[in-house]
Amino acid sequence: MELYRTVLLLCTKPGPCAVKRALYEQVERQIGTFCSNTILPDLERRVSGHEATAQPIFSSLNGVRDACSPMRDLDDTRAERPTIRARRARNSMDTQSSRITQSKSSAGDSERDHLAADVQPMEEGSLQGIELMDVASDETSDATEDANDFGMDVVAIEELLHAFCAWWMAYQHLVQFVCKIFSYLDRCYTDKQNGPPPLEQLGRILFRTKVLDKMHDVLRMAILALVARDRSGDIVDRALIHSAVVVFTATDWISYYSDEIETPYLAALQSHYELESRRWLEECAFPEYMREAESALRQEIAIAQAVLHPSSVERVKDAVENAILLAHQDRLLTPEDSGFAVLLAQRHLDDLRRVFWLYSGQWVQELCGQPVDGASGQARSGANGRSVLHPQARQERALRPIAQQFARSAEREGAALFARYSAQIVEVDSGSDNLGREDSDRSSARKRHADGSEKQELASLPRSSSEELMSMSGNASVAGITDLELTSAEQSGMWLVHELVSLHGTYRRILQVCFDNHEVFAQQLRMAFEAIVNNPRDMNMIPELLASYVDRIIQGVYVVDGSDGDIGAHLSIIVQLLEYIYNKDIFAELYRFYLCKRLIFDLSSSRDLEVIFVEKLKATLGPLFTARLEGMLRDMHTSVAFQERFEKWSAGTR
């Protein structure tokens, strides 16, 4: 009674520092006594009352559930309960505060005595003004109603957390109530040049030292037990878990939350998914493993965002990623017969896209809203002081084994094409000995056409004969040179180039659709095709085949299925293959000869294709590579223009 009379006097008249100090210490003792004698015994009673039933669920944290099913939606009704109860307690506090304000505004010692009498039950620990026990009993009854849904062991845990959250909510109202009464201390005494902390902060400190320090083990086990059941697929009250976790972060020491909640949470998470990932490796194929990994990532991010502090989401992400993806990356991707190689061989684009989505970190941006790229690959310091790789460097480190497997798959398919081509050539050579003289002469003509001896024959012709050939139109007069049937060897060469073009187009499509044209994959694909087209046994084979292939396409001898636009795209891939070739001069010399022949004898099926292909070469290989080709086209255009003018003049003079 004397304490509150002193408070009312201090509200109107400043007092000495000794009085303020004594008053502050008295408030501290009263709040500490309430925590030690009221809140803590109630929570300990609940723990001891359900110790037998709570032990099984606590011990389950040391093992791992056999199943890991997707999360289910939280019941809206249960999620709204904390809000309703908080509103009820807040209304009770406002009612009590209005009563005190009205009493405080009245004059006279009798009214002050009446006010002290109203507040006196709080000193005795009953907290009648804010209806604490009503809230706690309400929470307990709700937990009992849910017993049929979760079983007695879960009810014991939820009842404890419900009571803990109810006591914390009521304790906050109590501290706010005390701060309003003793607001003079906050204005004139606390936090003045390293003085005692404000009353609100004092309340949080006392709750941590008097309640949390003694109950943190039990509360931590209760929280982790409910999270484990949530992870196994059971429906739990995430809002209740979050409310309990918030108490650990509300004491102004984030390290307290990190030591008591975050670190054990991550340890349990790591242990769970180490066992789960081993089981997936034994029971699931590679695509199913990736689907399980995607489901687990979505589940854990959803749980972390719902129950933990926002600062923990990044650490949860790293823990799950390390346990599921990075820890088994070598076993999943490195072997030649790994599941990833099978996906590439069977062209399962959806599964390939999922692999890239997981290992590139795109799921972080989608699920957590965090960017995955960075400006450099340097290491940075994490929140726990450990060196953490920059996201871009970490991404490249995770993707490089996948890109190398991607390149090896392309090399294997390219090597298979060359092996088949070699077998066809051997078969053709073995059958050529039985050909007659006519076939031998025809082969000699084809050989002259392929090795460039026709160029020498054309140069040895008299000038009049050359002009006569230029004046001829159509292909009939040169059928012996241009309309030669393709030999088996030439057909094999055309087949090889066509298959290389198709293989390159397929892998370029996979690069675009599944791997987002990532630079690591693009670099590995380039290296793979450089190894394919630069055959160490015959460096000139592919340039010669490419030049002959383009010549046959433009002549129309070798028909590519599709429209002119498709033929243009086909020629674009040929230019890309040519970019991988080291010995491009062989192609340039041979293609100039073929172009000269087509221009002189008018063998091109489309002059537009000639221009289009030269433009593609210029865009890819530069103007120096195509300068002579462009000069030949310009000279031919000028020659045709002069010939047309001459024919018009000649027709006019007759």
The SS3 of residue 475 is coil
Percentage of the chain with pLDDT > 90? 39
The residues, any chain, with a CB within 8 Å of residue 83's CB and separated by 6 or more, are: none
Query: pLDDT per residue over 362-403, tens digit each?
Result: 888 777 765 554 433 333 444 444 444 456 777 788 899 899
Output the pLDDT for position 7.
Answer: 54
Average pLDDT, integer, range 570-576: 90
Is residue 128 over pLDDT 70? no
pLDDT band at 72 (very low <50, low <70, confident <90, very high): very low
Query: Could you tell me which of 493, 600, 507 has the C-alpha nearest to residue 553?
Result: 493
Query: Could you tell me which of 228, 225, 207 has the C-alpha nearest to residue 217?
Result: 225
Output the pLDDT for position 59.
Answer: 45
CB 498 within 8 A of CB 490: no
CB 164 within 8 A of CB 42: no
Output the pLDDT for position 104.
Answer: 38
Spans of all domains in the chain: 2-252, 285-371+389-402, 415-653
pLDDT band at 58 (very low <50, low <70, confident <90, very high): very low
The SS3 of residue 258 is helix
Long-range pairs of 632-640 with CB within 8 A, sequence gap ≥ 24: 632/592, 632/595, 632/596, 632/599, 633/599, 636/599, 639/470
**Cα 171 to Cα 34: distance, rounded to the nearest angstrom:** 9
Query: pLDDT per residue over 209-229, tens digit each?
Result: 999 999 999 999 999 999 999
**Span of 274-283, 293-302, 419-428 with lowest mean pLDDT:** 419-428
Any bridge partners for residue 389, and if so which? 379
Alpha carbon 644 to chain centroid, angstroms = 64
CB 297 within 8 A of CB 276: no
Q: Which of 205-214, 248-257, 370-379, 452-461 has the highest mean pLDDT?
A: 205-214
Average pLDDT, integer, range 281-297: 93
Is residue 587 over pLDDT 90? yes
Is residue 50 over pLDDT 50? yes
Residue 455 burial by CB count (10 A; 0-12/13-18/19+): exposed, middle or buried?
Answer: middle
**Cα 185 to Cα 21: distance, rounded to the nearest angstrom:** 9
Choose which CATH entry (1.20.1310.10, 3.40.1130.10, 3.10.250.10, 1.10.645.10) describes domain 415-653.
1.20.1310.10
Is residue 77 over pLDDT 70? no
Query: Could you tell me which of 432, 450, 451, 444 has the C-alpha nearest to residue 490?
Result: 450
Percentage of the chain with pLDDT > 70? 65
The SS3 of residue 189 is coil
Instruction: Quote the Cα angle for 507-512-515, to 5°.
Output: 90
**Cα 625 to Cα 619: distance, rounded to the nearest angstrom:** 10
Output the pLDDT for position 51.
Answer: 52
**Cα 446 to Cα 552: distance, rounded to the nearest angstrom:** 13
Number of H helices, E strands in the chain: 33, 2
Is residue 440 over pLDDT 70? no
Output the pLDDT for position 649.
Answer: 85
**Span of 180-194, 227-241, 521-535 with lowest mean pLDDT:** 180-194
* Residues in the chain, overall count: 654
Query: Could you tell me which of 312, 166, 159 has the C-alpha nearest to residue 225?
Result: 159
Is residue 547 over pLDDT 90? yes
More confident residue, 15 or 152: 15
Is residue 275 over pLDDT 90? yes
**Cα 133 to Cα 141: distance, rounded to the nearest angstrom:** 12
Residue type, 176: Q
Output the pLDDT for position 591.
Answer: 95
Instruction: Render 441-459 in DSSP notation, one character per residue.
Output: HHHHHHHHHHHTHHHHHHH
pLDDT band at 604 (very low <50, low <70, confident <90, very high): confident
**Cα 212 to Cα 123: distance, rounded to the nearest angstrom:** 22
pLDDT band at 568 (very low <50, low <70, confident <90, very high): confident
**Cα 7 to Cα 3: distance, rounded to the nearest angstrom:** 6
**Cα 610 to Cα 47: distance, rounded to the nearest angstrom:** 87
Average pLDDT, integer, range 487-507: 91
% helix / strand / coil in the chain, to the nearest 5? 80, 0, 20
Backbone angles phi, psi at 14, to 5 degrees: -60, 145
The residues, any chain, with a CB within 8 Å of residue 516's CB and separated by 6 or more, are: 356, 360
Average pLDDT, integer, range 441-468: 42
Output the pLDDT for position 370.
Answer: 59
Output the pLDDT for position 539.
Answer: 85
Output the pLDDT for position 55.
Answer: 46
Query: pLDDT per residue over 309-342, tens digit each?
Result: 999 999 999 999 999 998 998 888 877 667 888 8
**Cα 240 to Cα 161: distance, rounded to the nearest angstrom:** 7
Secondary structure in 3-state letters for 15-67 = CCHHHHHHHHHHHHHHHHHHHHHHHHHHHHHHHHHCHHHHHHHHHHHHCCCCC
pLDDT band at 164 (very low <50, low <70, confident <90, very high): very high
Average pLDDT, integer, range 267-277: 95
Q: Which of 175-184, 437-446, 484-493, 513-522 has the highest mean pLDDT?
A: 513-522
Report how far apart, in Å, the C-alpha atoms of 65 and of each of 225, 442, 574 are.
12, 76, 55
CB 602 within 8 A of CB 474: yes
Backbone angles phi, psi at 556, to 5 degrees: 90, 5
Instruction: Quote the Cα angle for 166-55-270, to 5°.
Output: 90
Mean pLDDT, the chain, integer: 74
Average pLDDT, integer, range 262-280: 95
Average pLDDT, integer, range 431-451: 49
Is residue 356 over pLDDT 60? yes
Which residue in this structure is represented by tokens 């090795």? 451
Output the pLDDT for position 639.
Answer: 84
Query: Could you tell me which of 525, 520, 523 has the C-alpha nearest to residue 506?
Result: 525
Average pLDDT, integer, range 395-416: 91
